[in-house]
Amino acid sequence: MPFADDILYMKNLYTKMPVQEVHGNTYSLEEHVPGLQLRYPGALRGGKTGDYCLYLNDFAPSHTHVVRAVHTYCEISGHDGAESMLCFLEDLATNGLTGTVDLPSPFEIAGHRLEGRQTRVLLYWLILQEDINYPSPRHMGVRMPFVRYTEAVISSILPDLLDIETVVARTAARGGRPAPRFAHTSLSPRFLRTFDVIENMRRSVV
């Protein structure tokens, strides 16, 4: 099932890591995305087994970076771009790395340009951390970033209904259970369908 095998893989890496200092070991993903690697053990308070930090060269992307990038992508591409993003997120949530739906145009995050499958690989590994560090049922696990990314799409199409800074604040919030998915009577069935796909993801916590 999506995410579960690689959560186990990261946890297993902890049992044989040669260096104990934070980010002292690397797992390369450069065959998929130049400059992409996981550095572990992570720095998360409490020392969650399997925790890591994703780096693209010397840049560590966060969910807030992705939220802004999703918003910009859809804002530039309009309704067609929003539809492409929703289809991509649904496929990533359902199929993980084995999915086949790619964005039709490059995805730029904080000045870094990703082409085709590169976007899937980066987002997959960024999202996966949530089931290690903030698993359900207390938290939302991998569902949290998927929900926030979908909200970013909404904010690009319906900014008067949900503005991007609100989505960013919801994404960055820590210290309690994440805010539930955005709800409003004006939301179209299309957005609700994506939220339902996310809600019905098979649990990947192992």
Over residues 42-79, the pLDDT tens digits come to 987 767 899 999 999 999 999 999 999 999 999 999 99
Predicted local confidence at residue 133, as pLDDT: 85
Contacts of 144 (CB under 8 A, 6+ apart): 63, 130, 134, 178
This prediction has a pTM of 0.94
What number of residues does the chain have? 206
Q: Are strands 25-28 and 36-40 parallel, antiparallel or unpaired?
A: antiparallel
The three-state secondary structure class of 62 is coil
Tell me the residue ranges of DSSP E strands in 21-151: 25-28, 36-40, 53-56, 107-109, 112-114
Instruction: Determine the average pLDDT of the residues in 79-103.
Output: 97
Can you give the pLDDT at residue 176? Answer: 77
Distance CA 52, CA 165 (A): 27
The per-residue pLDDT for 45 is: 74
